[in-house]
A and B are shown apart, each in its own frame.
Chain A
Amino acid sequence: MNRKILVLMMSLVLLVSATACSNNNKKTSSTDSTKEQSSSSVENGQGDKKSNEPITIKMMANLYEAELKEPDIAFLNAIEEKTNTKIEIEIPPSSGYAEKLQLMLVSGEYPDVIMFQTQDSDSYKNALEGEVIIPLDEYLEKTPNLMKYTYDASWKALKSNTDGKIYGVPRTSVTRADGFWLRKDWLDKIGISIPENGEITIDEFTEIMRRFTTDDPDGNGINDTFGIGVFVDPEKVMYPVLTSQFGDLGWQKSSGEFDYIISQYNKNTEVYKKVLSYTRQLYIDGILNPDSAVSDIQATRENFWRGTTGSMWGFGGDYNQHMEELGKLNPDARIVYAFVENENGEVKGTGYGTGMWQFWSIAATCKYPDRVMEVMDYALSDEGYDMLYAGVEGTDYDVVNGKRVYRDDLKNATFRGLFLRRAGDANFFIKPHLPQEQKDIILPILEKSVASVVRSEDMGYVPQASKEPTYMDYMATMAQGRAKILLGELEVDAYDDLLEGWYKNGGQKYVEEMNEYILKQK
């Protein structure tokens, strides 16, 4: 009995001392960090100006490629030289970036600059709440290039709800509304041409799709082609073929019950039902490749290259890649880009609300936030942006007779592509080394994609209501219902019931919260 008590007491003592130790550790580390911060703020004022030693900036980024290649290294070297810095980038495995970010935030040891995926991610919210990152407003006054070349919507999206300050520098994503790639050689075969301005009506588009399916455009004598292929959204329901053409333009002003509404949740219009109905009919008529219901974007591209489908929704900058892959199987294949007009004859499409994709925040432990901002500002200056886009002389190109000649063995510059970007610059999507005739094909397409954007007012915001279990459960029902409608298993009118159920299962709160958010941004 006594022995048992002794063992129990010893275990307790051990437990208590272990806890005490860990508490001590915590205390020490927090004191250390306070000290570090205070010393850094002193240095901040004068320290960096005293010496000419380059300062080290540690960054953590999700770059999809674990190791930087020569073009990125050359670019970083050039930036370091210009800004008297030394940039170290930690690139965690992209498949585990979110976990790594969360763990880094709890560890208490932060890099100077942290890349966050979205302003709605848990890690970003935690970093804000835990004051791990600092507001950048005071530094932004001294960064004219960042201010000039970033969408206002992106800054708004990065404003904190609590203090109204901006906590990140957006990696701008040139907002665009994409059209469709069509097989030009198939169009020639069926005797249809696309007008010079690339604009076609919904009827013309449908007719092309239909004839791509029925008129054996590949001439192999077998009825084995489809008009178009699409792919599935994150909820595993296929994207409708046409959306904005029927008036579905994301969150927009409304005269109904709410100030702002998206057609998908609008009980007062038939817009979304028209969107569903159009794709549903294409599916039933066998014009839409049935694989679309389970395909991802890569599979859809492959079907296009294979000649199974005659068109696909896609990015105008992909001209080269499509031509290359199509050419391997069919050297005669040609492609053309088309925008489908809406019912009023206009070309309009929804652009990604915030105009940014990922952003950079600065940690509270960073000793030189002003210098970090300088580096970012430099990257968007004329000189910096030229390097960001075209690369560095001696690595990406050589200058021969005053002209840039790009090297043949050009490697991917992942960091350059994901670091920063100038808002609205369609040219960024055109690789600098492409021959002029290809640039001439791509640029007008991209310019139109950029010009035809109608921005959704939601700014990528995800209302808290979406985290409610009832809502989340119902979203699965809703997705299933949408899939059934698109595959012709349910009538389009079934969407009314789905929508009613959605409002009852948290949808009402969702729309209210979204409205509150949008109105606050105005």
Chain B
Amino acid sequence: MNIKLKNTKITKITTFEVINYSFMILVSIIMLYPFVNVFAVSLSSFSEYIKNPLMIIPKKIDLIAYKQILEHPTLWSSYKNTIIVSVIGTILALILYILTAYPLTKLHLKGRKLILLLVLFTMLFDGGLIPNYLLIRYLGLYDSLLALILPMVFSAFNLFIFINYIDGLPSSLEESAKIDGASYFQILVSIIVPLCKPIIATITLFQVVAYWNNFFLSVIYIKSVDKWPLMLFLREIIMGARMSEISAAGNVAEIAQNAPTEILQYATLMIVMLPIMLVYPFLQTYFVKGITLGAVKG
């Protein structure tokens, strides 16, 4: 019986490839190690961590840290707040971007240049921390979730990405709709928005990640613990101990006793990272696309 080897290509492995792959594997290990270590430590008891802080595989699984952190009342309220802020903020942002970007692509729009200039101005200059803080207070937004949503709802950078994208769409589609008697709003809703799906996905990712990761707004605008977002909770768990050590001066040892242990810090890290990590691989393509869009045309 004759066996025919069909379509088999014997490729030669070059030295470059060997070095390249080895190097890439090494880089991946370096990148992955801290993550695996954090995961392993979060699954161990504190004494196991003390024995071997650099572990990759936990010797004895102990869920005490997760138990403690999941029972922490602030975790759940902060999770809820972050989800509310991220979802509402992103939806609001998309509506604003679309409604602003589309008219700004029309060259005949009166005052277009001035508006663009004003938008560009916000990219270069910022009111500063104190004026922003006073504004939020005077608007009555202090200690409300809106204070976390509104300051980040509109970014000039994202708007320019949107404008560029819409600008690049074939004008014939719009023209044919116009001939059929469609109004600008109808064109926007039934033609432009469906064609903008890729850019909407990209900006969604940008916004969600920005909202998810932001902690600074909450540090300055939020008073009540039940309105803390997740990142502030994480920061408090991780930084709280360190800050108390620094400021304690002569009393270092006295305070450090109450510090959250590493296992608790690591477990919190895992819980906070998980959702965004699960979403990331699926939206990664858009993320890269978004960056290139900004780079080429922005």
Residues of A bordering B, CB below 8 Å: 7, 25, 64-67, 90-97, 99-100, 103, 106-107, 109, 117, 173, 175-176, 178, 234, 296-298, 301-302, 305-306, 314-315, 317-318, 321, 325, 328-329, 351-352, 357, 412, 414, 429, 460
Contacts and interface: CB of A to CB of B under 8 A. Distances in A.
Interface in B100-116: 111, 114
A352 B249 contact: yes
9 contacts: A7-B114, A66-B228, A94-B236, A99-B219, A297-B245, A297-B256, A306-B50, A315-B252, A357-B251
B236 A66 contact: yes
Interface size on B, as a range, is 35 or more
B236 A93 contact: yes
Nearest to A67: B225
B130 interface: yes
B137 A107 contact: yes
A239 to B, nearest CB: 10
A95 B219 contact: yes
Interface in B12-28: none
A119 to B, nearest CB: 12
Interface string B238-258: 011111111111111111111
A93 B235 contact: yes
A62 B239 CA distance: 13
B258 A414 contact: yes
Nearest to A8: B114
Interface of B: 46-47, 50-51, 53, 73-74, 111, 114, 129-130, 133-134, 137-138, 216, 218-220, 223, 225, 228, 232, 235-236, 239-259
Nearest to A60: B223
A351 B223 CA distance: 36
A301 B256 contact: yes
Contacts of A90: 223
Nearest to B242: A296
A93 B51 contact: no
Contacts of A305: 50
Contacts of A7: 111, 114
B50 A65 contact: no
Contacts of B53: 302
Contacts of A66: 74, 225, 228, 236
B111 A65 contact: no
Contacts of A296: 242, 245
B257 A321 contact: yes
Nearest to B225: A66
A103 B235 contact: no
B129 A103 contact: yes
A314 B253 contact: yes
A211 B248 CA distance: 33
A93 B219 CA distance: 6
Nearest to A105: B130
Contacts of A460: 249
A412 B50 contact: no
B133 A329 contact: no
A72 to B, nearest CB: 13
B254 A95 contact: no
B219 A64 contact: no
Nearest to B245: A297
A510 to B, nearest CB: 19
Contact of A103 (B46, B133, B254): B133
Nearest to A429: B254
A40 B27 CA distance: 66
A156 B119 CA distance: 53
Nearest to A453: B250
B51 A357 contact: no
B250 A173 contact: yes
A422 to B, nearest CB: 15
Given A93-B236, A94-B240, A414-B258, A297 B219 contact: no
Contact of A329 (B50, B138, B220, B240): B50
A296 B219 CA distance: 25
Nearest to A456: B250
Contacts of A173: 250-251
A95 B257 contact: no
Given A103-B133, A106-B133, A178-B253, A96 B220 contact: yes
Nearest to B114: A7
A301 B236 CA distance: 21
* Leading 6 A-B pairs by shortest Cβ distance: A352-B250, A315-B253, A96-B219, A328-B47, A95-B239, A66-B225
Given A94-B244, A173-B251, A329-B50, 4 more contacts: A95-B236, A106-B134, A301-B256, A357-B248
Contacts of A96: 216, 219-220
A421 B257 CA distance: 18
B240 A95 contact: yes
Contact of A100 (B220, B228, B259): B220
Taking each of A96, A175, A314, which has the highest tally of chain B beta carbons within 10 Å of its own beta carbon? A96
A117 B225 contact: no
A65 B236 CA distance: 8
A383 to B, nearest CB: 25
Contacts of B47: 325, 328-329
Contacts of A414: 258
A298 B241 contact: yes
A500 to B, nearest CB: 29
B134 A302 contact: no
Contacts of A91: 225
Nearest to B254: A315
A95 B235 contact: yes
A221 B215 CA distance: 50
B259 A298 contact: yes
Nearest to A328: B47
B266 to A, nearest CB: 14
Given A175-B250, A297-B252, A297-B256, A64 B130 contact: no
Contacts of A64: 240, 243-244, 255, 258
B246 A234 contact: yes
Nearest to B111: A7
Taking each of A94, A100, A317, which has the highest tally of chain B beta carbons within 10 Å of its own beta carbon? A94
A176 B164 CA distance: 66
Given A66-B74, A297-B245, A357 B257 contact: no
